[in-house]
Amino acid sequence: MTSETKGTVGIIGLGIMGSAYAKNLLDAGFGVVGTDVADEAMATLAGQGGTPVGSAREVAEAADILLLALPSVKALEAVTKEIAEALRPGAVVCEMGTLPIDAKEACRAALEAEGADVLDCPVSGTGAQAAKRDLSIYASGEEAAFRKVEAAFAGFARDVRYCGAFGTGMKLKYIANLLVTIHNLSTAEALLLAERAGLDLNLVYDAIRPGAGGSRMFDVRAPMMIEERYEPATMKMDIYIKDLQLIMDFAREMRSPTPLMAASLPFYFAALAEGRGKEDTASLFAVLKGMTGARGKDGSKGD
């Protein structure tokens, strides 16, 4: 199929995730029009074969399906205001971020007043997984609107599922990220123990991965930890800290205890204190290693 038969998808926000969505959609035969505040991201889209434009409004004018891949509530509010009066009739707007449900509800109210359908569609997976089309999408909202975008989602995700009423997707994402938070730290903890026991870490990875102790985060992050390679990040530590707060707020609202999540938090904040905000969350390994007095491959040492 050609992009003419599959249609055009608009992407507002071409960071680690949005750029991966664009490439995989283009490879799947969709047209892609997108925008970002970073010139480098716009150049990347052009190099991928997509069409960069100068504003979110222009994206809204060009596509019936819009993916919002934005980093913050402030960015979502600004984009919502910008695209509200530019939406094409029957457009479906998919809010893909990890953001508070009330912020997404505000976006929904504003854009549905202009005739659009709005879906809450958070994505589970790292930037590295996004590049390989190895993502899960938790879509929630009107099912008829989901059916309009389902084929496009399949162009950049491995697992696409309709989850029910608007906001259900974000609740699932909070739970998924709770597990990611714990599994990142448990992977770092296990590898450091193995290293101090004198084991070959590549042997450890190969042996643990298919067994009962393996996890998706062990699959994804253990190789980065073994190589002590934390840049370029597939999930930047300073961005992920936002997700930690959302999970804890949600758990508090549900009055649900999260002892392992709570025990994990100090290590993420220690990474920030060490200046690792732009590094991948795999740098938890360096934080733990620094606690032993051992130096990393780059010569760094924890205080």
With contact defined as beta carbons under 8 Å apart, do 277 and 198 qualify?
Answer: no
Residue 204 half-sphere exposure, CB side, CA atoms within 13 Å?
20
> Of these residues, 23, 104, 173, 289, which one is catalytic?
173
Amino acid at 35: T
Distance CA 282, CA 99 (A): 22
**Phi and psi for 73 in degrees, rounded to 5?**
-60, -40
DSSP letter assigned to residue 31: E
* Of residues 224, 202, 242, 241, the one with CA closest to residue 282: 224
173 annotated active-site: yes
With contact defined as beta carbons under 8 Å apart, do 48 and 26 qualify?
Answer: yes
Distance CA 160, CA 269 (A): 33
* Of residues 96, 32, 106, 28, the one with CA closest to residue 67: 96
Decide the pairing of beta strands 92-95 and 65-68.
Answer: parallel
- Please give the positions annotated as active site: 173
